Amino acid sequence: MSYDLFLKPGATPLSRDQFDSYFSGRPHFTVNNGQAFYENEDTGVYFSFDYESGEEEGEEEDCVAFNLNYFRPHFFGLEAAPEVASFISNFNLSVDDYQYDGMGEGPFSIEGFLRGWNVGNRFGYRAMLSRNDRSEVNVYPTDGLERVWRWNFNRAAIQNIVGDTLFVPRFMFMKGEKTARTAIVWPDACPIYMPKADLVIVMRDELSTTPTADDPREVTVVEWAKVESIINDFPYDEKQGHFRLEYDHAPSLVSEFVQSLPLVPHDRDMGLACDSILNAELVAEALKAEQ
């Protein structure tokens, strides 16, 4: 199940070379055999554009098919919309959106795209949850998902700005009892832009307490409340939502805290892919509709 759009040229045709050249110059795209596949490793979002020759498809003109899977966290649409808008604007394309509550035939708008995507995605939740094993469903509140997505989407740009002076971690998701849990990595009490996460995975190398010749690194997992009690006096950026731990050497309070943490093995099987984390509200709505 997916959200599908057909993007059609106007008076000026769109060639395969133009298609390949455009997407080859954009971040996160891989172009191969007429398909431009988008995959952002930081956010986990992916979707595709496929160049379709009119001669091969039995149509009068060439077009481009856009595809975005349903049964995904809502932010997949938020990340895809600007890419679709930019491509359409660059080549003055029109859209054929035949989906329920879609844009129909004509001009494209981000508002119309998100409306159609959200309606279809909501239907996808109902359809998939009605036939899938619900014990495997991992959920997280919508506002939290969007906060995580925005941080991860901007992470690389922020890291480029601060350079090597501060570490900008990526949010990950881990399995929880009732909902998924967010996690970030903090290596060796390093200087860091630290956003609030449910869990902090602390890596100890230089601060290792029981180093071995084979692997001096130690891993432990700690709840946010314990970390916050140590970093609460550091500057907090309300707008971007992170603590700024900036120093040449970790203060003794911080390094001693990190070294005092008991080893808790990090189970890699507890990690979750971003595309598997569903909006808690949409899942609840879908389950309620079945009753």
> Which tokens sit at 250?
């970790």
Average of pLDDT values for 188-213?
88
Hey, what are 191's tokens? 């200087």
Q: Go through the chain and tell me how many residues it has.
A: 291
Enumerate the β-bridge partners of residue 3: 68
* Residues 60-79, mean pLDDT to the nearest whole number: 92
**Residue 59 pLDDT exceeds 70:** no
What band does 62 get if pLDDT is binned at 50, 70 and 90? confident
Cα angle 96, 102, 108; round to 5: 55
Q: Model's pTM, two decimal places?
A: 0.92
- Residue 126 has a CB neighbour count (10 Å cut-off) of 16
Above 70 in pLDDT, residue 19? yes
Q: What is the C-alpha separation between 281 and 179, in angstroms, rounded?
A: 12
Rounded CA separation 43/40 (Å) = 6
| Interval 216-244: pLDDT, tens | 678 899 999 999 999 999 999 998 889 99
Which letter does DSSP use for residue 170 in this model?
P
Rounded to whole angstroms, how far apart are CA atoms 80 and 67? Answer: 10
Residue 60 has pLDDT above 60, yes or no: no
Query: How many Cβ atoms sit within 10 Å of the Cβ of residue 197?
Result: 22
> pLDDT band at 120, cuts 50/70/90?
very high
Return the percentage of the chain with pLDDT > 70, whole number.
92
- The pLDDT assigned to 106 comes to 82
Q: Which of 151, 145, 171 is nearest to 280 (CA)?
A: 145
Which residues make beta-bridge pairs with 97?
A: 104
> Hey, what long-range contacts does 31-40 have (CB within 8 A, 24 or more apart)?
38/80, 38/83, 40/79, 40/153
For residue 3, which of 137, 133, 103, 141 has the smallest C-alpha distance? 103
What is the SS3 assignment for 116? helix
When pLDDT is cut at 50, 70 and 90, the band that residue 135 belongs to is low
- Pull the structure tokens for residue 78: 């938020």
- In the chain, what percentage of residues exceed pLDDT 90? 74
In order of start, what are the domains of the chain with their CATH numbers?
A: 2-129 (3.30.310), 140-272 (no CATH)
Reported as a pLDDT band with limits 50, 70 and 90, residue 99 is confident
Number of C-alpha atoms within 13 angstroms, CB side, residue 81? 16
Structure tokens of 151?
Answer: 């941080």
How do residues 145-181 score in pLDDT, each as one tens digit? Answer: 999 999 999 999 999 999 999 999 999 999 998 899 9
- Mean pLDDT value across the chain: 91
The pLDDT of residue 211 is: 62
What span, in angstroms and rounded, lies between the C-alpha atoms of 181 and 176?
Answer: 6
Question: What whole-number distance in Å separates Cα of residue 234 and Cα of residue 132?
Answer: 45
Kindly tell me if the per-residue pLDDT of 269 is higher than 90: no
Q: What does the longest C-alpha to C-alpha distance in the chain come to?
A: 71
Over range 4-12, report the average pLDDT. 89
Predicted pLDDT of residue 214: 62
pLDDT at 53: 80
> Which amino acid makes up residue 44?
G
Please state, in angstroms and as integers, the Cα–Cα distance from residue 142 to each residue in 1, 111, 147, 277, 284, following that order. Answer: 21, 19, 9, 10, 12
Write the pLDDT tens digit of every residue in 254-267: 999 999 998 876 66
